[in-house]
Amino acid sequence: MNPPDNRIAVCPGTFDPITNGHLDVISRACAVFDALIVGVVNHPWRKGETMFSADERVRFVENATRELGNVTVEPFSTLLVEFARERGAMAIVKGLRAISDFEYELEMNQLNRRQAPEIESVYLMASAKYSFLRSSGVKELATFGGEIDELVPDEVAKALKERLSH
């Protein structure tokens, strides 16, 4: 099978909220692919309710990736491989921080390959300074007044502080 003319990848996530760790993976993936579609999970199955709506999360990602010329952002509510296939993507890109991420992603990769063997999974190791960073941890820090300004984009830090002050 020949690779597609355009090397398009999907980078999926809940991004509730987007962190500087997510942005690190997104910016590095941009260097590898011609086009990167950041897929914002509309209704996350595994993580339950989100703090921010899909529209808010899409806006945060769009604003944070504005300088990256080959990134588009879209919400999705289908199987990830269907979303990727509909966009002509050849790969799904995800970041890995720890062994626990690997175990989960290995299972997901096997399920995705059964559904769409033509779509590769590509994993980027978290940069050392972001290897601990999780959206849930950022929300927990923000809830208790912790310092989050260096962990998320400015717009997100402001929105989190506002949301949690109510």
Q: How many domains does the chain have?
A: 1
Contact yes or no for 119/154 (Cβ under 8 A): no
- Structural domain contains residue 158: yes
| Average pLDDT of the segment spanning 119-135 | 94
Contact yes or no for 160/18 (Cβ under 8 A): no
Cα of first residue to Cα of last residue in the chain, in angstroms, is 54
Please give the structure tokens belonging to residue 81. 């491989």
- Structural domain contains residue 3: no
- Structural domain contains residue 131: yes
- Structural domain contains residue 1: no
What is the span of the domain harbouring residue 39?
8-165
Please give the structure tokens belonging to residue 16. 């509730």
Residue 166 has pLDDT above 90, yes or no: no
To the question of pTM greater than 0.85 for the whole model, the response is yes
Ramachandran sector of residue 139 (left: φ over 0; alpha: ψ -120 to 50; beta: rest): alpha
Query: For residue 144, what is the domain's CATH number?
Result: 3.40.50.620
Tell me the per-residue pLDDT of 23-79, one tens digit each, with 9 for 90 and over: 999 999 999 999 999 999 997 666 678 999 999 999 999 999 999 999 999 999 999
Task: Report the pLDDT value the prediction gives residue 60, as an integer from 0 to 100.
Answer: 98
Strand intervals (E) in 34-134: 35-41, 71-76, 91-96, 120-125
- Structural domain contains residue 2: no
